[in-house]
Structures are given as C-alpha cells and as structure tokens.
C-alpha cells in the first residue's frame, strides 16, 4: 500500500499522523520543551506528511510507489 493511499485513506492518515505527533512531541517533551514539545511535534508532523505527499505525487508521475 502506498503512503499516499494511506494518507488520503480514512484510516491510515490518522495513524501515521498520530505516530509523527507522538514521536516528535515525545522527543520534544523529553528534551525539556515541556508541553511546547507537543506543539513542535504537531508542526513537524504536518511538515513530514506534506513532504511525504509531495514525494509520493512526484513518484506517481513516474509510475512508482512507496511500498512497505
């Protein structure tokens, strides 16, 4: 299943976005940013998903998919 399909799908996008939020937010919290770490994680999660969508659309133009 491609990342674009997961992101645009109803189920997968929330799972992937929550993973980014928890990963970067928890890291920010552990590094001492307190609750601002969750906001930083949210921002990084949005940026990461945007980058993945742009890359996936670029690969779709070349008839390739990011598979996992």
Give the Å distances, CA to CA, from 51 to 6, 7, 35, 45, 56.
Answer: 14, 12, 25, 10, 8
Res. 1 pLDDT band, cuts 50 70 90: very low
pLDDT tens, residue by residue, 48-68: 777 777 777 777 676 655 555
Coil/strand/helix, residue 61:
helix
User: 41, 21 in Cβ contact below 8 A?
Assistant: yes
User: 21, 38 in Cβ contact below 8 A?
Assistant: yes
Where is pLDDT greater, at 31 or 68? 31
Question: What pLDDT, on the 0 to 100 scale, is given for residue 66?
Answer: 54
Compute the average pLDDT of residues 23-47: 73
Where is pLDDT greater, at 15 or 10? 15
């Amino acid at each position: 299943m491609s990342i674009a399909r997961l992101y645009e799908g109803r189920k997968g996008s929330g799972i992937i976005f929550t993973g980014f939020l928890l990963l970067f937010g928890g890291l920010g919290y552990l590094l001492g940013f307190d609750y601002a770490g969750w906001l930083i994680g949210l921002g990084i999660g949005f940026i990461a998903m945007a980058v993945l969508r742009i890359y996936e659309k670029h690969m779709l133009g070349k008839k390739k998919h990011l598979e996992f």
